[in-house]
A and B are shown apart, each in its own frame.
Chain A
Amino acid sequence: MILYLTNTHSGFYMQIFTDKSKKSQMEIMGLVIIIILVSIGMLLTIQFVVKKQPEDIRKTFTHEQLAANTVYALLRTTTDCKDRSLASLIQDCSSNRPNGLINCREGKLSCEYAEDVISSVLNSTLEKWNKDYYFTIKSGTLSIIALGSQCPNAKTSSLPCCPIPTGIIAKLDICV
């Protein structure tokens, strides 16, 4: 606080100057620092929120191609049941429910034999690789074969596939 005494014609004149300029400078500097810190914080937050974590590309690709290729290769596989393909066994199973008509090895009919082959292949592949799955073959709404357990959360599914005609759909869901 600065005190000025001025002698004018009308008398003494007192003026008081407070040290506001330095105080305001300090206040402004403080504000600037706060603004800078808040801006940096917001920039970092935006960087985290807007920039998504890169998806596991390999995992997505692996699951998609695994589901599709497994179904495709399975249905084309030639079984030991009179050298018939799995697709034709499934077709016989669907047309002649509940067990099928084709008499395979060990006294099993086509439905049971097809299920055994599919189960054996999936145990040697997906289960061995610790991948949970749900494999279904349906004719309309009727389930012909169902192996594994339904995925509780997200899953990757194969597209409805391949060489089985007459409305039979084979689908493999691999749980994420």
Chain B
Amino acid sequence: MKTKKSQVKMFETIAILVIFFFLVGIGFIFYSKIKQTSQSAESEEYFSTKAIELALLAEFMPEIRCSADIVTDIQNCIDIGKLDVLNNTGIIEENLNYYYNILGYSDIYVAEIYPNSGIVWRIYSNPKPANNFLGKVQTQIPVAIYDSISNKYSFGVLYADLYR
């Protein structure tokens, strides 16, 4: 009966090994799922950081900010004269390569809310091609739009749309 006994023992050993590797396999699958989730969270975090970077770059662009000689308190102040020039002359489109290195695939525009709602100035427009579009994230920054001729401030919003 020794042979049968040893066969039973071997079978037991094999069964334990099978269960062990089965558990290791489950653990590995579980770990890889968690890693996948963590990687997509990191990617989302990176994209969020890029969106903040873009918003700050847009807010502090010297091409639109109020000049310190004219306005002493220039915190989130935008000059309407500069907006008109950018919107009407297309200077940024002519230098798209330069601005692409700074702003990437994004849209930056300013909309007046009060007193005249509906006025929009397009500063930079470089959306991703339609066949490569994966969505976009918008950041809104309230700004004071200063008119140096009339010495008045309007309330506006600077929109920075970043494409994925």
Chain B interface residues (CB < 8 Å from chain A): 9, 12-13, 16, 20, 23, 27, 30-31, 34, 41-42, 45, 48-49, 51-52, 55, 73, 75-77, 113-115, 117, 137, 139-144, 152-157
A11 beta carbon closer than 8 Å to chain B: no
A56 beta carbon closer than 8 Å to chain B: yes
Count of A residues near B, CB < 8 Å?
A: 37
Contact A73/B152 with A54-B45, A121-B114 known, Cβ cut-off 8 Å: no
| B20 to chain A: closest residue by CB | A33
B13, B49, B51, B144: the one within 8 Å of A76 (CB): B144
CA distance A119 to B27 in the complex (A): 56
Q: Evaluate contact between A69 and B152: CB separation under 8 angstroms.
A: no
A149 beta carbon closer than 8 Å to chain B: no
- Which residues of A have CB within 8 Å of B157? 125
A contact patch SS: helix
CA distance A33 to B51 in the complex (A): 47
- Which residues of A have CB within 8 Å of B42? 54
Residue of A22, A61, A78 with most chain B CB atoms under a 10 A cut-off: A78
Q: Evaluate contact between B52 and A77: CB separation under 8 angstroms.
A: no
Q: Evaluate contact between B114 and A117: CB separation under 8 angstroms.
A: yes
Q: Evaluate contact between A124 and B117: CB separation under 8 angstroms.
A: yes
A106 beta carbon closer than 8 Å to chain B: no
CA distance A62 to B141 in the complex (A): 8
Stretch from A79-87, A95-103, A107-115, A135-143 forming part of the interface with B: A79-87
CA distance A125 to B114 in the complex (A): 11
B51, B73, B113: the one within 8 Å of A125 (CB): B113
CA distance A70 to B52 in the complex (A): 17
| B71 to chain A: closest residue by CB | A76
Q: Evaluate contact between B23 and A77: CB separation under 8 angstroms.
A: no
Known: A22-B9, A44-B30, A72-B142. 4 other contacts (CB 8 A): A53-B41, A69-B143, A76-B144, A125-B157
- Which residues of B have CB within 8 Å of A175? none
CA distance A124 to B76 in the complex (A): 19
CA distance A70 to B20 in the complex (A): 61
Q: Evaluate contact between A121 and B113: CB separation under 8 angstroms.
A: yes
- Which residues of B have CB within 8 Å of A164? none
CA distance A158 to B99 in the complex (A): 32
Closest Cβ–Cβ distance, residue B92 to chain A (whole Å): 23
| A123 to chain B: closest residue by CB | B113
Q: Evaluate contact between A73 and B48: CB separation under 8 angstroms.
A: no
| Residue contacts A-B, CB under 8 angstroms, 7 given | A37-B27, A44-B34, A54-B42, A65-B55, A73-B142, A77-B114, A121-B155
Closest Cβ–Cβ distance, residue B5 to chain A (whole Å): 10
- Which residues of B have CB within 8 Å of A58? 48-49, 51-52, 137, 139
CA distance A61 to B55 in the complex (A): 10
Q: Evaluate contact between B142 and A83: CB separation under 8 angstroms.
A: no
Q: Evaluate contact between B153 and A70: CB separation under 8 angstroms.
A: no
Contact A69/B52 with A85-B153, A125-B140 known, Cβ cut-off 8 Å: no
